Structure 1
Amino acid sequence: MKRMNAQARRVEVLAETVKQIREKGMQAVRIADVADAMDVSSALIIYHFETKERLLIDALTYAAERDLLKLGRIMRGSGSPAELLMAALEWYAPTGQARGWQIWVDAWSAAMRDVALAEVLVDLHRQWNKAISSVIDAGVLDGVFQSSNSLEAATRLTSFLDGLAVRMVVHKEPISRADLRAWLVRQVAWELAVDQSALGAVAPEK
């Protein structure tokens, strides 16, 4: 590994750990796997993270923070609240092979037996829902959406997409991008009492 400062090295280790989780699954990843892939000693990984559990939690936090940065860029973009909400939810949604979702479905499973991991995931999900609720609030102020509790509405919408992710990742059930968007539009329209036409054109289901 080339010489770098401690923070840069830590980020490099986290990025490689995320890659290893995606390829092998959380339960199977070893510190040695990360070290071998980076051509460094396991001792270096332990020096920065102390335990495998800490490494995995920090790697998931790193991945989530990158996602949240992307979400922030979407929210700061131009467009109406309806356009921004759909852009955020469509980016959050599982699409294609749902490759990125493999990490989170795997993490949910591991969290059933790991209290520390469960607490991290709850906090990350709270941050997601808070960001989504902010654009719902903007839509309510504009008179586009109706919602008495935007945070609860955001939680229901992300939970809807979480469920679809499980179907795609765990049950290997293919859902086309067009169908997923059509379902999402109907869900948002129902949840926020908004006409589907305000959420963009919907491709007809076959």
Structure 2
Amino acid sequence: MIFVTGTDTGIGKTYVSAILGKILKEKGINVGYMKPVESGGIEDTAYVRSELGLNNSFEELNPVNLKKPLSPNISAKIEEKEIDILKIKAAFEKLKEEYEFLIVEGAGGVAVPIKKDFLIADLIKYLDLTCIVVSRPNLGTINHTILTVDFLRKKGITVLGVIINCITDVSKVPYYEETFKSIEEFGNVEIIGIVNDKKDFYIDLKKLNLP
């Protein structure tokens, strides 16, 4: 099992989750997916559900769904909902029993609040998962990636590596190779994958503690 988080919202966690899931399916692994909290609709869950051909209901895969595209704590407050962490845990445990390998995707970055005194990073810790961090290739990513990795480690969470999702054409990013080296050197973390598109990607599966 693995938790897919990222340096920001819109960074490509859903896209990477789907690609990773399809790779594992092609290797004969019974892989499932879960997005514990989704704000602003059901699009992320629907996309991965479709890509992986899952038959689970949306509620099983996404136990907390909020209408407003805001931080979960704010969206829940506006909608007058109480986010039930135990409900998330129960859905997680059920999917764990059903699948050989489970991909759990976060909402936004690691410091996004779910509810009072409970961040995305706290959810990762609560579910006792290791994680990968999805990052981008362009200017600013060194800072964002190192801060994210450091925050997770201070929470006692194991970071298996970083996957660069090339939302910007990497060939047009000046000195991108030096950027990637800097992330590894100063963040003391390995870049285990680079995703350009659905047909052009590399992910080192040996780093993911597969069954």
Task: Answer 1 or 2: which has greater strand percent.
Answer: 2
Alignment TM-score, normalising by the size of structure 1: 0.31
Larger Rg over CA atoms: 1
Task: Answer 1 or 2: which has greater helix percent.
Answer: 1
Alignment TM-score, normalising by the size of structure 2: 0.31
